[in-house]
Amino acid sequence: MDKVSNINFTGISNIAGVGFSRKENTISRSLSMVLKDDYNGQDFSNFKNVLKRISNNSDEFKNSISPDVLNIECISDEFNNKNSALYVNGKLLDVNDDNLPMFSYIAKLSKRIVGMNYKNMIVNNDYKKYMADNTLIYGVSFKKNLPNTLNKEEVLDSVFSPANSKSFAQYVNDFVQGLMNMYFGV
């Protein structure tokens, strides 16, 4: 077998999922990843193209840590589903016609992650060591918010585990579906 064909170039790497709460009675689930352009995919360019379509200001949804990092956060009210909201790189993505291409992009992206093979879900050690602390939860240090009783490195490993990332991707997909059903439904 050709060795090169065995290498995966999905354009999506360092996928992680974290569940937390920003304020009382709300639950956040955040899916983060790094997008890049490579032989088989143009994931970073595709994301930038969607940004261009939905906003006149290209910096509006840009990740402040690094432009190729994408953080999707689903916030829901514990007691009221109607207050659900989706944030892209820390900015609220309103459900309206203008933003539908971004919802469509996120639905397809999360679906792709759900369908990825475990062996293709690559996590870069440098990213995990130097960047993840500030990219997993937008605008907040991940490690600083963990209780001291926990082994922080172990927790970090677990949020990058393929099974965990996939389950968060599925959650994001269901969440977008829910928002779309409310938007289009009677």
Q: By the criterion CB under 8 A, which residues form the site for other proteins? A: 53, 97, 100-101, 103-104, 107-108, 111, 173, 176-177, 180-181, 183-186
The tokens for 163 are 């099974």
Q: How far is the CB of 179 from other proteins (least distance, A)?
A: 10
In terms of CB distance, is 10 or 14 closer to other proteins?
A: 10
Q: What is the C-alpha to C-alpha distance for residues 53 and 103, in angstroms, rounded to an integer? A: 12
Residue 153 Cβ, how far from other proteins at the closest point, in Å? 36
Q: Which is nearer to other proteins, 98 or 153 (CB)?
A: 98
Q: Are 48 and 69 in contact (CB under 8 A)?
A: no
CB closer to other proteins, 4 vs 186: 186
Closer by beta carbon to other proteins, 41 or else 90: 41
Nearest approach in angstroms of CB 96 to other proteins is: 9
Residue 111 tokens read as: 């679906």
Question: What is the identity of the amino acid at 69?
Answer: V
d(CA 155, CA 18): 10
